[in-house]
Structure 1
């Protein structure tokens, strides 16, 4: 046993494996996930196990770099468009949690390092823990994080389930209402008989009502088959054409062209296909789907959009960001044209450029080591800030020279998870030696501060969302989950409703909260330490 304790690699593997197993244990449908490693690491450190600090440093740099890559595409742009409402809400939520932490810690005599760890745990933010450890090196932030994390995890899940009930509503009913309100966004296909003599011999591009309705006429009836129209296609009275349009615009288009066709028994000469496309073209980034008019220009519809690991049905007013994964439906030839315009087909983005990862990490470490002189004091971003900043910039711009800011989803998740568990294992083991003393001296205070941070953050975020920003209940709940960086909280919502409003709000608030936690965790340390 002594040899095992003093063998760093064996200790690391044992701690990580045990932590991942612990993370899989579910209680009332909740599990710790990768954060289970912090608990086994604390226990291991308490019993004398040691893990090389270099493993933790590598894990920290890799983890925050991957976080930056994921958040970059949405973080900067969020503040200059409609999504800034959710970003500001996330900032209010995080700031209120930090203020509650500072006030409660001052009142209860909790040291700065423990306060910052409790703040990060209450908002379930590992990047916040990383910033706390760098701001208070050698402290016990990991201990307080481990104690506070379950409080934050359970608190958000309970809130999103109880809040609708207290208001006399249910997530299921809210989802049905949201679906009814968005019915007009559904894409419909109708065979229309052309009767309007005013369109005789005219091309589609010259018909303003068709363009305004974002309508696509993709096929015409020849015999008993619907065949694709060519580039020189023009309308004639008596034609039967296939109209593809949003349901709310259907009556407008049908009235303009003629009437719904009474013909039956026709078939398509080809079936529609699906294609996944990753957005990388500057021509489409930061534009709404309404502005891009994919249906009218290419004859394809975007049926799903995946962003920050969550997928939803996009609406016409939703903005496209770099790195978004679009699922498009249409004919093969038109899908190829669409993919060439928007970015790249998904499979072309599935190659991992490890050289770019290495160069990006090295640049981040170098930036983190640079000292900035501020009068008599100096400041540096460190391993938690340097790689994060470079990751944000690469994620935002897509690539800088030959260095790419994109990783395939599977590779990104693997590298981020590996970095996370290495960091948690080393941080927990280092703090575990003082676990008993910390709990004996500050156990009740830690729990009280964590509970205060969690409750204040959630309640302030909810009130701001509903009363200040005028968001719907579903949007507010999704934004609160994003501001608390709580994926389990979002999961509790989506398990009850298929509405996309909370998912969209979560995806907009999450990047801002992720980055702001690293800032406010440092502020907690500096405020209490001053």
Structure 2
């Protein structure tokens, strides 16, 4: 009976996930493995020749990187503009130092070029580098690439996971505090303030039609009427001493207050439960239009104070274009809110609904993109693979919100579930494969080859840390994400993501990863030429 259970691949998969998560939840001196515990259980299962369904690893990897791309997309391109060059240099240093130590120790330990290039690919957990090296050494020498990869890969995965978890603790970094500090420096928070109007040019102007408000970065949402903060109506006008509630960004709020008048502290009550709602925009004919054109206060008696798009919330201006699946925070009377919700096609169930058609199409396009081989001549070529293709497509969807009929919106709870599910699938598959021949390969080729893999992994990580923290003065979250990208380590990114809600590591990973992917694929062949000329293939 027990043998039957162990031969049931699907049961083994979920058993590994269960025991792995249980292991990951155990804390020792405040440190726990989190979802990465699945990898350790899978390594043990692989050693005992247990198996899981074929294709689970690729499915999990595609789901994980796709969800990562969607969450990072709205910040990715701005991050490239601000720190793209730094993260590219960081990736180049990580790959370059790893390759340098591979060549040095490969020649020192007299390790053939095939095994050495495999150790480089395994230590950096780079499947494209493995493919490039195997392609360069067909036949018996090519099998050496796989052996080297098998020796170095387990620590390549485990080492980076442990590094990104232990480093903040050893250096006394509180990731949540670092995330809050980084957020306060980079992103303005949304706040509201009560303002008394003293600007002479505003007096007598209708609030709904006032052109002077177009230059502000805030929204006027309520006015004091009968000692109570009430939603604006189309008839409200500015008068000397009129008190209004404005909603805006903390960094631009002082300018907006100075233009309108002066801040006041009168504690007026308001009914937020009945006079404010979150409505999702699904009406195709209403989407794609600018807020200034819609004139919601004049035509509908409501004000849109916030827009949430792909998990990012901001205060709109007249130039903001509304998109389908935007979640709008709307202020108005209960009657007007109901009418406006009907007008924009609001359905409460849509706020938590995932467009499976878009999910399937986006993943399919990403996988197809990953299969495309980009040739550089002289036999050099690269494909993005399962890890790269879906990531690029998701980043574009996350940035633009939609590409034709395909939307990039997945509700946050669903996205996090798919992301974690994909990660544990991938970890289970990686552990099963890495554990199967770990003991045998180390016993056959000696501990020196395993130590070589450990050194290659550690040298790249420490070089990345030095460049990120000491040279470029990055925040620890950005640095750790860049190290994960430079080492092409998806499990390590999952380990960081489980420790903080900040998107900084995800954005850095997504920026550094493509650079590392390309460099590793090219350098794997350079390693073969370098060591092959001294030791042989």
Give the TM-score of the pair, scaled to structure 2: 0.68
Does structure 2 retain, via aligned residues, the 8 Å contact 1:142–1:427? no
- Tell me if the contact between 1:218 and 1:229 (Cα under 8 Å) persists in the aligned partners: yes
Distance in 1 (CA, whole Å) between partners of 2:202 and 2:331 is 26
Which residue in 2 is equivalent to 1:145? Answer: 153
Per mean C-alpha deviation after superposition, the further-off stretch among 96-105 and 423-432 is: 423-432
Matched, 1:88 2:85: yes
The total of aligned residue pairs comes to 478
Shift in CA distance, 517/371, structure 1 to aligned 2, threshold 3 Å: closer
Residues 7/379 of structure 1: CA separation in 2 closer, same or farther (3 Å cut): farther
Q: In the alignment, which residue of structure 2 is the partner of 1:35?
A: 36
The structure 2 residue matched to 1:113, chosen from 108, 114, 118, is 118
1:457 maps onto 2:461 in alignment = no
Determine if contact 1:356/1:404 at 8 Å carries over to the other structure: yes
Summarize deviations over 1:481-509 as a string: whole Å, max 9, x none: 22134465577788xxxxxxxx4643532
Of stretches 246-255 and 411-420 in structure 1, the one that deviates more from structure 2 is: 246-255
Taking the TM superposition and a 5 Å limit, the aligned residue runs for 1:96-111 are 96-109=93-106, 111=116
Between the aligned partners of 1:444 and 1:21, the Cα distance in structure 2 is: 30
Q: Does 1:437 align with 2:445?
A: no
Shift in Å, 1:427: 3.7
Residue 125 of structure 1 aligns with which residue? none
1:71 to 62, 69, 72: 69
Structure 2 residue runs of 5 or longer lacking an equivalent are 107-114, 135-145, 291-301, 485-492, 530-537
Counterpart in 1 of 2:270?
268
Q: What's the C-alpha RMSD, in Å, of the aligned pairs?
A: 5.1
1:327-346 alignment runs, 5 A limit? 328=329, 330-331=331-332
* Distance change in 2, residues 1:140/1:330 (3 Å): farther
Going from structure 1 to structure 2, the CA distance change for 1:269 and 1:448 (only over 3 Å counts) comes to: closer
Q: Is the 8 A contact 2:150 2:437 kept in 1?
A: no
Q: 1:85 to 1:332 in 2, by over 3 A?
A: farther
Quick check: 2:90–2:468 contact (8 Å CA) kept in 1?
yes
Q: Is the 8 A contact 2:361 2:406 kept in 1?
A: yes
CA distance in 2, matches of 1:199, 1:301: 24
1:239-285 deviation per Cα after TM superposition (whole angstroms, max 9, x unaligned) = 444455667777766666666669x685435556463869997679x
Structure 2 equivalent of residue 294 of structure 1: none
Contact 2:57 2:430 in 1 (8 A): no
Greater shift, 449-458 or 343-352, is seen at: 343-352
With over 3 angstroms needed to count, the CA separation of the structure-2 counterparts of 1:63 and 1:489, relative to structure 1, is closer
Deviations 1:371-422 (A, max 9, x none): 6777674857355555555555555554555554443334434444444434
User: Does structure 1 retain, via aligned residues, the 8 Å contact 2:195–2:263?
Assistant: yes
Which residues in structure 2 correspond to 1:474-493 (within 5 Å)? 476-485=475-484, 486=493, 488=495
In structure 1, stretches of 5+ residues that fail to align are 121-127, 285-296, 467-474, 495-502
Q: 1:113 to 1:277 in 2, by over 3 A?
A: farther
- Superposed CA deviations along residues 40-81 of structure 1, whole A, max 9, x for unmatched, are 3332232233445xx2x34314522541354157559734x4
DSSP-derived class of the 2:193 partner = strand
Deviates further, 375-384 or 90-99:
375-384
